[in-house]
Chains A and B, each alone.
Chain A
Amino acid sequence: MESNKYLEDISEIKNMMSRSSRFISLSGLSGVMAGVYALIGAFLAKLKLQAIANIDWHDLSGEDPIKIETGLIMDLFVIAMGVMVMAIATGIVLTMYKAHNSGEKIWNISSQRLVINFLIPLVTGGLFCIILYQNGFSSLISSTTLIFYGLACVNASKYTLGDVRYMGMAFIILGLISTQFVGYGLYFWALGFGLCHIVYGALMYFKYDRK
């Protein structure tokens, strides 16, 4: 039938349009794993904070409180870096695997565009966090990471699976709400980077990966 050929043509057009402009091999499972690492990281951070809270500040017996504080900040920084490195490494491996299966190259124009557009808001946010710390607004750092990560996702969504846009919006909303609850940053952080990643990652996994 002639109309079958036309139907094939239309689906070929759609396929080429999305394959050439979006990087669609992004693995949903990597989102789930990033969420799991974030929850583990948040748990470790919580332990560190509790340990500090249990110190008897009236009887430091020679310990320097400033040293304790910088030690804590270093510990939290190492945990955050560990979570990030693990999440990125897992994401790359799983995405490579998915790209290999679907015959898409992992480093092509689409993935380059995706990475660049993701990094612009993210790096801006990272630098802004350093500036916040510099000026003593440390309490706003966790909100800022959530907001800028959300903006990065919204920006990057034009170059990959569209669902990333809604995850980004969830992060932005969560980040803005968390500004009103100073001192609960870690919980919002776990809710965003942990739970949001797992939920959206799982949704994307069932929608795209399991075919």
Chain B
Amino acid sequence: MSLIDNINKAFDHRIRLGIMSILMVNDYADFNMLKELLGATDGNLASHTKALEKVEYIVVEKQFIGRKPNTRYSASKLGKMEFKKHINALEKLIGK
């Protein structure tokens, strides 16, 4: 098995990489916080969160704050594990 196998395709985009980085150090983040930090448009961010949700790396929670709908994201156990593997692989590749 070569090192490149640990490079996860799911994280192979700046926005998805950013979403995971944020969720690794925060218990959760809502849509607006992600949008603000990543400087992404609504549609763009939504499609990337959907992709991460599909592979079950993040958990999506929809709720209401007052009357406003609010979407909260957090990293799943699987997502955290895979992201750590991904970081390790990146570091090894750079080290070479």
Task: Give chain A residues whose Cβ lies under 8 Å from the Cβ of B33.
Answer: 20, 108-109
Q: Tell me whether chain B's interface is mostly helix, strand or loop, or mixed.
A: helix
Contact of A108 with B36 at beta-carbon distance under 8 Å, contacts A3-B94, A7-B94, A10-B87 already known: yes
Residues of B within 8 A of A21 (CB): 25-26
The answer to whether A17 and B25 have CB atoms under 8 Å apart is yes
Separation of A12 and B21 alpha carbons in the complex (Å): 9
| Alpha-carbon gap, A77 to B36, bound state (A) | 42
Interface residues on B, range: 10 to 19
Cα distance A17–B22 in the bound complex, in angstroms: 5
Say yes or no for A116: interface residue by CB 8 A criterion: no
Contact A10 B29 (CB under 8 A): no
Number of interface residues of A (CB under 8 A): 17
B81 within 8 A of A: no
Tell me the dominant secondary structure on chain A's binding face: helix
**Which of A6, A13, A17 meets B93, CB within 8 Å?**
A6
Per-residue interface assignment for chain B, residues 84 to 96, with 1 indicating a CB less than 8 Å from any chain A CB and 0 otherwise: 0001001101101
A16–B90 touching, CB < 8 Å:
no
- 11 pairs of residues in contact across A and B, judged by CB atoms under 8 Å: A7-B94, A10-B90, A13-B21, A16-B17, A16-B18, A16-B21, A17-B22, A17-B24, A17-B25, A20-B21, A20-B25
Listed in ascending order, the chain B residues whose CB lies under 8 Å from chain A are 14, 17-18, 21-22, 24-26, 29, 33, 36-38, 87, 90-91, 93-94, 96
Seen from chain A, the residues whose Cβ lies within 8 Å of a Cβ on chain B are 2-3, 6-7, 9-10, 12-14, 16-17, 19-21, 105, 108-109
